[in-house]
Amino acid sequence: MRALYDIFAQVFRSIAANKLRSFLTMFGIAWGVASLLLLIGLGEGFRSGQRRGLAQLGTDVIMMWGGTIPAMPNQHTGMRPYKLTLADTDAIRTQAQHVRNATAFINRSDLKQVSEFSSSGGSVMGVELNYPEIRNLPMAQGRYFNADDLAQHRMVVILGQKNNKLLFPGRPSLGAFITINGARFQVIGVVDKIGRGNNDSENQRLYIPLSTMMQLFPMTGENIPADSVSSIQYQPLTADLNETAKADVHRIIAERHGFEPSVKDAFEEWDTIKSERTVGLIFTAMDVFLGGVGIVTLALGAVGIINIMLVTVTERTKEIGLRKALGATSRSILMQFFLEGLMLTGLSGVIGILAAAGLMFGLGAMMGNNQMGFDPPRLVPWSAVMALGTLTLCGVVAGLYPASKAAALEPVEALRKE
């Protein structure tokens, strides 16, 4: 135990004797570790922010809109437009085996909303009872629609967060009345803020029952069905069955509108599940790339430490010879130089990890509950483990090779060195 204590004391004395060289060596490795963790942490912040942004839309949502049917596959001349309908939605609910839920809505942005205090021009959406089951619609005040609201075509409205402020600035809105293109509606609820940043389109919406919307403000255009809707949005049974669910829906829509389901150009849709996977793959590739660059950087740092330790062995050749002549064993010499190299890399790595963690914590505190499209960078456990593992390996290599050179010196030959 005493011998081990003496070895550690000698290691620290040796490091302290060359302060500038030790500092520069440790700084280079600590900088590399901190940079690696920060880059991966930033990537994970962007990944988390993108996931959170998609989650604001809803869970496992696939969105479909009316499209145009090409006269010939892969041709864009003589295309015939078609509109989705409420009957299409019912067919998807009953016939699509791999769809767990589906909803339809009408979205119109040409309807003027007026209260006794102000006016607004946000979009008006006619929605079904199950809309919040598929799309994110958090209620801040009041209530959502019930079955009687839709069955009786009630004149009730739910305001988006921004529209609530515009139509009732500094005043209570629940129970109050507004007009939509002259029709009088009572406010029964207010939606909490949706999304982040300056994109207020989701928050400047009004929601009314779909049955009321179809009665008062149906879809406009020539030769379109009376039950036309702007969009059908649905969820697969599980996220892994998104392609199977889309195939079911394509088959149903194609049969009902008179074209082949293999004509992909006829479908206008957005699969948020696929988008999330694509974003995940991009950021995973970035993590792998950055991790590889970080490992190479740390390996180069280890080469630097090996070089410095070899220089140290050369400088201390006479000292090594004297110690061996006085009875020091090759094992103790080996252990001293090995621990010195390992200490330099290990201490540098810990400092780098702590510096990166502190900086990321500070950035997170500064950003707080940000409304931007990305989250604060965060320390990713696997990147810290990878950095420590790489540093340990580098430390072993950086300490073992110079240590073996030192231990192999013969006392007589070492004492002759100047």
The pLDDT > 90 percentage for the chain reads 35
- Residues 393, 380 contacting (CB under 8 angstroms): no
pLDDT range class, residue 186, cuts 50, 70, 90:
very high
pLDDT value for 69: 84
**Where residue 414 falls among pLDDT bands split at 50, 70, 90?**
low
The pLDDT assigned to 210 comes to 96
Residues in the chain: 418
Quickly count: other Cβ atoms within 10 Å of residue 332's Cβ.
Answer: 17
Cα dist from 378 to 43, 46, 47, 362, whole Å: 9, 10, 11, 10
List of residues 6+ apart from 298 with CB closer than 8 A: 29, 32, 33, 36, 387, 390, 391, 394
At 224 the pLDDT is: 87
Q: Is the pLDDT of residue 297 over 80?
A: no
Is the pLDDT at 192 greater than 80, yes or no?
Answer: yes
Please name the residues in contact with 33: beta carbons below 8 A apart, sequence gap of 6 or more: 294, 298, 348, 349, 352, 353, 356, 387, 391
Q: pTM for this one?
A: 0.71
Please answer whether residues 341 and 404 qualify as being in contact, where contact means their C-beta atoms are separated by less than 8 angstroms.
no
Beta bridge partner(s), residue 208 = 126
CA-CA distances (angstroms) from residue 31 to 36, 376, 416?
8, 20, 40
Q: What is the mean pLDDT of the chain?
A: 81
Note whether 279 and 272 are within 8 A (CB). no
41 CB-side CA count, 13 A = 23
Per-residue pLDDT band at 199 (split at 50, 70, 90): low
| pLDDT (0 to 100) of residue 126 | 96
Read off the pLDDT of residues 317-358 as tens digits, 9 standing for 90 and up: 666 667 767 776 777 777 776 777 777 777 778 888 888 888
Contact between 333 and 410 under an 8 Å Cβ cutoff? The reply is no
Residues 6+ apart with CB under 8 A from 260: 254
pLDDT tens, residue by residue, 123-174: 999 999 999 999 989 999 999 999 999 999 999 999 999 999 999 998 999 9
Percent above pLDDT 70 for the chain: 78
What H or E segment, with its residue span, contains residue 101?
strand 99-108
pLDDT band at 95 (very low <50, low <70, confident <90, very high): very high
Q: Are 406 and 313 in contact (CB under 8 A)?
A: yes
The full set of domain ranges for the chain reads 2-55+277-416, 62-270
